[in-house]
Structure 1
């Protein structure tokens, strides 16, 4: 897919606002992804664009399929690095964070918004409200579920710009991202034990380009070698322990829920 610019593909019956929206899911739990796929299939105006269980797979999915909306599990992105990278990679992409109780804090909410999240809803939200949140996030480019309203309270001394989702400035997140989008992908594959040649094949790059990215990663993380870089990345929160890589993109006219790897 290197050098190819895929386009969004409308499919299925369009909703009241026009064309159908492609919805992808990034979540480590297969049965949860199945449930979200079923929700998308039964809602007019939405179609299933694919799924991912890891950061690397999510970046590949969005590069290849170009969904309109991504539903992202907050536990998979505790420092909001993936949110920032997805937003930077495709400014038109709508990012909806499914926030777990462990991340249900004012700090996380503000950090996610600063990273580019357009909507934040509880992960336990019911299907009707989630479908509405997807549509509102796409049409308004901002939506916070009423159940999270208390987390958006503005400190009295803060004067916020009009139209912001949240009014308080987020603190700097742990493990601030010093790497580019491609360097982040390379580092994740290095962490899985892949050599440069294997990484090059997966990312459709030359081995020399991968080698250049690895050198840049070592320099930015002040690491002695690849192993040291991975250790630093996990300790600083740049990388997190995650589910096995894999995404299952689905063609626009597919009606069956896809099998999982």
Structure 2
């Protein structure tokens, strides 16, 4: 599986809000661009009673594939990998039973980001620098109550600021959605991620278990929704408008738009 390291466990029992999770092991997956951070979280999960490791992913596409194939109980997600909370929303809509725990970096520690994450479906909001024991407790509390805000962030979730009125956009950007908006469906978003990685339609079809014709249909829909002339233009618009984001820290950086789609014109 591309970019996915799952750990198979028996299928989960659906969570019942308000009921304890005693005698039940929760499968925890991590979505983070930094390998050593993923390993650290894996170590925390392995040594915490009542939790087991369900897998890891370092990109949006890999995260969606992991959740579709492994169906973890809990997903711990890095805020820098999801600055507009698109992935949070897509994972929540794809599996309403999954519990999403957002680890908030300092750059995202704002009322606006936290309000957006909660609205997108995040069940727990925790500082990225949280103590491992507090994170384990946040995972349990979020699974039991379907809502947990770390005390260090509680003040920022009390009264979210109103979002400012959008400013006038440059000529090309006005053709797209407002900054950070998500006009694409879940499957179109996956296809666009792979187009940006430079994959041809046939390769995308194999990864997503679709026919090549279905992928072509999704690509046409993406071009129409983004008002893009071609695949190169679509990727450019997507990065410029915030629909796609570059990987942070030491994660692989997507190819430039002109190279990313050079092989994907079939």
TM-score range, shorter chain: 0.7 to 0.9
Q: Measure the CA separation in 2 of the matches of 1:53 and 1:218.
A: 26
Aligned residues: 226
Equivalent residue runs for 1:200-219 within 5 Å: 200-219=205-224
Pick one of 95, 101, 120 that aligns with 1:96. 101
Equivalent residue runs for 1:1-261 within 5 Å: 9=11, 17-154=22-159, 174-242=179-247, 243-244=251-252
> 1:149: how far off?
1.3
Higher relative contact order, chain-length normalized (CA < 8 Å, sep 6+): 1
> 1:132: how far off?
0.2
Corresponding residue SS for 1:146: coil
Q: TM-score, normalization: structure 2?
A: 0.80
> Retained in 2: the 8 A contact 1:59–1:86?
yes
Q: Measure the CA separation in 1 of the matches of 2:54 and 2:162.
A: 33
Q: Measure the CA separation in 1 of the matches of 2:23 and 2:77.
A: 24
Q: TM-score, normalization: structure 1?
A: 0.82
RMSD, aligned CA: 2.2
Corresponding residue SS for 2:153: helix
> 1:85: how far off?
0.3
> 1:50: how far off?
0.1
Corresponding residue SS for 2:96: coil
Query: Which blocks of at least 5 consecutive residues in structure 2 are unaligned?
Result: 2-7, 14-19, 167-177, 254-266
